[in-house]
Structure 1
Amino acid sequence: MRYRRIVRSAAVAAAALILAACGSSPTSPGGAGEAGGAAADATAKAQQVYDRINGLTSDERKKTLVELAEKEGNLSVYTSNTDIDKVIEKFEKAYKIDVSVYRGNSESVLQRILQEQKANYLGVDFVDTNAGELNVLNAEKVVYPYKGELRDKVRKEGQADGWTAHRFNVFVIGWNTEKVKPGEEPKSFEDLADPKWKGRVSMEVGDVDWFAGLYKYYLDQGKSDAEVRDLFTRVAANSKVAKGHTTQGELLSAGQFAITVSSYSHTIDKAQDKGAPVSWHPASGVPLQPIVLRPNGMALMKTAKNPAAAMLFADFQLTEGQAILGESFRIGSIPQAKDPLAGLKVVTVPEQELLNDPKKWDNLYADILRSGQEVK
């Protein structure tokens, strides 16, 4: 994910749709004024439902939500989550609600929502995407707080302003077990700066968030900025630079390189489950630390036509949905009995800093990667 592109996309979408809103609105033949009234009405009605449900607990909340949501009968979800299909399938089986889905990458989801909001088009009830985009939506004041006992159970890293994490992308150091034999694994990220790893490591071109989290971790550990930059530069000099985690994971499985510095844990776990010679658990059994954590989450739209269905789906994501995520090797936001992160040093992505100063981190990471070799 590139935070610079997110912010620029938001600005471009907003500018374009100020013009679009001056024409006829897709919600009404009466023009922008009439559509704006419809949006205001939807906001008032949705807020009334949200506030009512946010104040309820336990069985009363569930009973009221189901009654209201099934009366609405529909739910519109915009998502970048590639593992959401099973969640939606089981949700539709559990309740009398038809779910429509728009799926794109995280930037596309953000752009579409901003465009629709500017045009007063009420197309989405529930958003499921990455932290950076959700922070933009919260800053644009188009989402509404989700509260309750379930949110309180979410790891503190996932209780964000305006939205709530239901899963985490966990950045880990992974390796091809045929290229790195048991006992030969690096002991830390710093080990990968050793010249013996030259040409055997891979970095991913878009992992600015991982980079910022780990960079700040080393600063907090007492290293100078020059020392941290030198460390990353030396690791990059040993690296092949790939574009996209999926592509990078396939190349790791194929043995095109031995080590990845910021793979998603679920990418490696899925490949391993299919028989690929990959792992992120060394012979010692303890993953390399620190592990960088980025929340992926959900938000309720202020203008939702189906606010009760949106809240019911949010509750579902934090109950039955957590087990479904686990089946896809995802790490849910509510700690389970067998918590894969228990006892590990976890570093969080500095989301607000990335949002406030995206150019700083984009440019720094791009400079670092110039020392690497691009994967053709």
Structure 2
Amino acid sequence: MSKEGKARGTAGSVWVPSRRNVLRAGLSLAALPVLSVITPRGAYAQSGKTTTVQGFETGADVAAAEKEGALVFYTHDSGAAAAAICEAFHKDFPKITARYVSLQNGSLFSKILAERGARRYEADVIQFSDLGTAIDFQNKGGYDDYHSPQQKYYSLDHLSHPAGHFFWIAMGFAGLAYCTDRVKEAEAPANWKDLLDPKWKGKLSVKQANSGMQFTEWYELRKLYGDSYWKEFAKQKPTAVNSRVQLFDRLGRGDDAVCGMAEWAGYQLAHQKKAPIKFVAPKDGLPSSPMANGIVANAPHPQAARLFTDWLMSLKGQTFYQENPYLYYGSIRKDAPAMPGGLKLNDFKLLVPTDMKAFLASRKQFNSEWNQMLGLL
């Protein structure tokens, strides 16, 4: 079921979940892999004249955006995260009321495709949790073509190919986590293969197949260890839940001993609440997924969509994404400050899909295998 809400000044929607990610383990940002399917070739062209407002440059007609008076943001993020984003934007632009739809990545994609198939155009801006979904949506003609003046602060490798459809708004990653009330540090899993130890049977948690990050983890660990890894993992009879909040709530209560899909930002929020959990960064690396954000074609509020996109891409928006407790994302922007605690993306080793054709082609296999493992097929 989708979560929808509004942000009007201090009102805003209050959704129980929280979330988000950042990243971990020693691959420098400059060394992030170039994704051949989406790497722009050549320079991008800025769309029209620009205006500076609220300390950032925008290509939107601000007066027209305020006259539109509304913005609809579709996101894979939690309701709490989406509400925080919409409220922050509304605070800077009080004449624009922001609403959101919050769904897991696969469900969000199905919703937007169904709406467009019925010629219902309700979303202005959409954010997906993995590049594969964003590229699929681009191939279906789902994005408007907008060249933000903020693009100059991003590597061409971190924009859609061709540029103008979407940008990498942030990076998310997942490692391991365990309940310190149930597991001693000396006995805790240190690497991905440690999850295959029979002692964890019936004590592990993961996410369901509609999670973009879970898909990325499946794909990257399959590359590292081969098909046999997930076949052995299936014997552990993991519990799957729908959201990151549920994963860490269960772990904190001791319902599960170990989480095999522990997203860093979700961990950070749970840790701040004094949950008895600890994060582990496996030395082989952490599956990582760039999140993609773009303006939807036929957006009902096109100028507000441009203004919102420029705000998200700006240093102001990216700092918000890094510092808000419902987000805690790592920014791809060239001049991004350190994250809370002084960490930057190049402090982490990231496992990012590089062959997007193979990544996209494996989605059906993942859905089938994952749902069979969970007893849903």
Equivalent-residue separation in structure 2 for 1:260 and 1:214 (angstroms): 15
1:277, distance to aligned residue in structure 2 (A): 0.6
Equivalent residue, structure 2, for 1:234: 232
Q: Structure 1 stretch 111-120 or stretch 253-262: which is displaced more?
A: 111-120
Q: Output the aligned Cα RMSD.
A: 3.3
Equivalent residue, structure 2, for 1:307: 302
Q: In the alignment, does 2:204 pair up with 1:210?
A: no
CA 1:341–1:237: 2 relative to 1, 3 Å? farther
SS class of match (1:124): coil
Name which of 341, 345, 348 aligns with 1:341: 345
Q: Percent identity?
A: 22
1:322, distance to aligned residue in structure 2 (A): 2.4
After TM superposition, the score normalised by the length of structure 1 is: 0.70
Equivalent residue, structure 2, for 1:358: 363
SS class of match (2:87): helix
- Contact 1:172–1:292, Cα closer than 8 Å, also in 2: yes
Q: Which amino acid is 2:47 matched to?
A: N
Aligned ranges for residues 179-328 of structure 1 at < 5 Å? Answer: 179-206=182-209, 207-216=214-223, 218=224, 228-245=226-243, 246-281=245-280, 288-318=283-313, 319-325=315-321, 326-328=323-325
- Contact 1:57–1:148, Cα closer than 8 Å, also in 2: no
- The superposition leaves residues 288-314 of structure 1 with CA deviations (integer Å, 9 ceiling, x where unpaired) of 541111222321122124322211111
CA 1:160–1:241: 2 relative to 1, 3 Å? farther
- The superposition leaves residues 109-132 of structure 1 with CA deviations (integer Å, 9 ceiling, x where unpaired) of 434433443344443322233334
Equivalent residue, structure 2, for 1:76: 72
Q: Which amino acid is 1:209 matched to?
A: T
Q: Which amino acid is 1:327 matched to?
A: N
Equivalent residue, structure 1, for 2:135: 135
SS class of match (1:62): strand
Equivalent residue, structure 1, for 2:99: 101
- The superposition leaves residues 60-103 of structure 1 with CA deviations (integer Å, 9 ceiling, x where unpaired) of 98365334433443323233322021221121221243234241
CA 1:230–1:340: 2 relative to 1, 3 Å? same
Q: Which amino acid is 1:208 matched to?
A: F
Structure 1's unaligned 5+ residue stretches are: 1-50
Q: Which amino acid is 2:66 matched to?
A: E
1:347, distance to aligned residue in structure 2 (A): 0.8
Equivalent-residue separation in structure 2 for 1:211 and 1:152 (angstroms): 33
1:354, distance to aligned residue in structure 2 (A): 4.1
1:276, distance to aligned residue in structure 2 (A): 0.7
CA 1:72–1:274: 2 relative to 1, 3 Å? same
Q: Structure 1 stretch 129-138 or stretch 248-257: which is displaced more?
A: 129-138
Aligned ranges for residues 79-158 of structure 1 at < 5 Å? Answer: 79-82=75-78, 83-105=81-103, 106-131=105-130, 132-148=132-148, 150-154=150-154, 158=158
Equivalent-residue separation in structure 2 for 1:142 and 1:234 (angstroms): 39
Q: How many residues matched?
A: 308
Q: Which amino acid is 2:72 matched to?
A: S
Bigger helix share: 1
CA 1:242–1:64: 2 relative to 1, 3 Å? closer
Equivalent-residue separation in structure 2 for 1:53 and 1:156 (angstroms): 13
Equivalent-residue separation in structure 2 for 1:93 and 1:359 (angstroms): 42
SS class of match (1:252): helix
Equivalent-residue separation in structure 2 for 1:265 and 1:295 (angstroms): 14
Equivalent-residue separation in structure 1 for 2:192 and 2:121 (angstroms): 46
Equivalent-residue separation in structure 2 for 1:235 and 1:70 (angstroms): 52
- Contact 1:163–1:300, Cα closer than 8 Å, also in 2: yes
After TM superposition, the score normalised by the length of structure 2 is: 0.70
- Contact 1:158–1:165, Cα closer than 8 Å, also in 2: yes
CA 1:146–1:261: 2 relative to 1, 3 Å? farther
Equivalent-residue separation in structure 2 for 1:64 and 1:147 (angstroms): 8
Q: Which amino acid is 1:211 matched to?
A: W
Q: Which amino acid is 1:201 matched to?
A: L
Structure 2's unaligned 5+ residue stretches are: 1-43
- The superposition leaves residues 342-363 of structure 1 with CA deviations (integer Å, 9 ceiling, x where unpaired) of 2322112465434334322323
Equivalent residue, structure 1, for 2:175: 172
Which has the greater radius of gyration?
Answer: 1
